[in-house]
Amino acid sequence: MSNFEHVFDRAHARPSTRCRSPLGRYASSALLVAASGLVCAGCQPRGAGQAEMLADLFSGAAAEWIDMSYSYDERAVFWPTAQPFELEVVSAGITEGGYYYAANNFCLAEHGGTHFDAPIHFAEGKHTSEQVPIDRLVGPAVVLDVSAAAEGDPDYQVDVDDLEAWEAEHGRIPDGAILLLNTGWGSRWPDPERFLGTARTGPEAIPELHFPGLHRDAAQWLVDNRRMDALGIDTPSIDYGQSTLFESHRILYAENIPAFENVAALDRLPATGAYVIALPMKIAGGSGGPLRIVGVLPGSPMR
């Protein structure tokens, strides 16, 4: 284990009417502040060595940073009954003062594109978006690849056998891990017919949804036997497309385990050894929201 990885390990503790919400400053600086906290929490500066390590982290010399979020635009995939992304240009030009100024309004449902599910989404009284502790959103990544099985079965559900097979090869899922399910569905983005199973919208589209998810038995096994901090998947929902009871949502969220959906670039992460920083928009009382998630590969210089 490198010194860089050691520091990471020590640091980790466990549809509506059209809106006119101003475009917030959801800047990358917030991501860097959070990453700095992940590296430094629980440890004291130890001179030039650690300072150089941090400098290498942020310069890309000591790690590769992987963007795992899709852009929000007119192609972003949303649930068939949800408000899609809309961008209204307020200003984009030279002002009377002679300087350029750009500003927009945007409107969208909480649960679309690469997004975050707060536990209250399916569990009354559990964490809302702003209540989810940051240590649930950062940590070591465990990547379970079921893309081969899902390729031949769009209704594939990750089951207990998949989890046990992964552990037989890589060891026990560590406490505080962020479990990421790679079904291969990212290759289908942003074609709604291939990604969702239908290009239709509205309630009539729901019975036509087909994409992989997590089986309720596997969700229960994780709750009963492991202590993961969050779950992510590259499909629109942690429950498979034909689900009508959303049992995996209900099982995990009842334990205040949040989830990330429509996660991109899962094929770029190894089964173990990467880290995740997943920062959602902090909506007070929210059931979820847009998510900027990145993977960090220690020892892999940024390309």
CATH number at residue 166: 3.50.30.50
Q: At residue 30, does pLDDT exceed 50?
A: no
Query: pTM of the entire structure?
Result: 0.86
Q: Is 139 helix (H, G, I), strand (E, B) or coil?
A: strand
pLDDT value at 112 more than 70:
yes
Judge whether residue 214 has pLDDT over 50: yes
pLDDT at 236: 98
Q: Kindly state whether residue 95 falls inside one of the protein's structural domains.
A: yes
Rounded to 10 degrees, the C-alpha dihedral 226/227/228/231 comes to 60
pLDDT at 10 over 70: no
Does 228 score more than 90 pLDDT?
A: yes
Domain-embedded: residue 303? no
Which of 12, 111, 115, 121 is the catalytic position? 121
Assigned domain for 154 exists: yes
Q: How many domains does the chain have?
A: 1
Residue 86 β-bridge partners:
107
Is 42 a residue whose pLDDT tops 60? no
- 170 catalytically annotated: no
19 confidence band (pLDDT: 50, 70, 90): low
E-assigned strand segments in the chain: 21-22, 63-67, 86-94, 100-107, 115-117, 138-145, 157-158, 178-182, 213-214, 230-233, 259-261, 275-280, 288-298
Q: Is residue 33 part of a domain?
A: yes
Q: What percent of the chain has pLDDT over 90?
A: 78
Does pLDDT of 161 surpass 60?
Answer: yes
pLDDT (average), residues 4-9:
47
Q: Note down the domain range covering 290.
A: 3-298
Indicate whether 46 pLDDT > 50: yes
Q: Please report whether residue 136 resides in a domain.
A: yes
Q: Is residue 208, in this structure, part of any structural domain at all?
A: yes
pLDDT at 4 over 50: no
15 pLDDT tier (thresholds 50, 70, 90): very low
In terms of pLDDT, which residue wins out, 41 or 209?
209
44: its two tokens: 């004291």
pLDDT of residue 14: 42
Residue 271 has pLDDT above 70, yes or no: yes
Higher-pLDDT residue of 7, 116: 116
- Residue 58 is predicted with a pLDDT of 77
Please check whether residue 158 lies inside any domain of the structure. Answer: yes
| Mean pLDDT along residues 194-205 | 98
Q: What average pLDDT does the segment 85-112 reach?
A: 98
Q: Is residue 236 within 8 Å of 262, Cβ to Cβ?
A: yes
Confidence of residue 60 (pLDDT cuts 50, 70, 90): confident
Mean pLDDT of 224-246: 98
* Tokens 């190894």 -> residue: 270
Lowest mean pLDDT among 1-10, 203-212, 254-263, 284-293: 1-10
Task: Tell whether 190 is covered by a domain.
Answer: yes
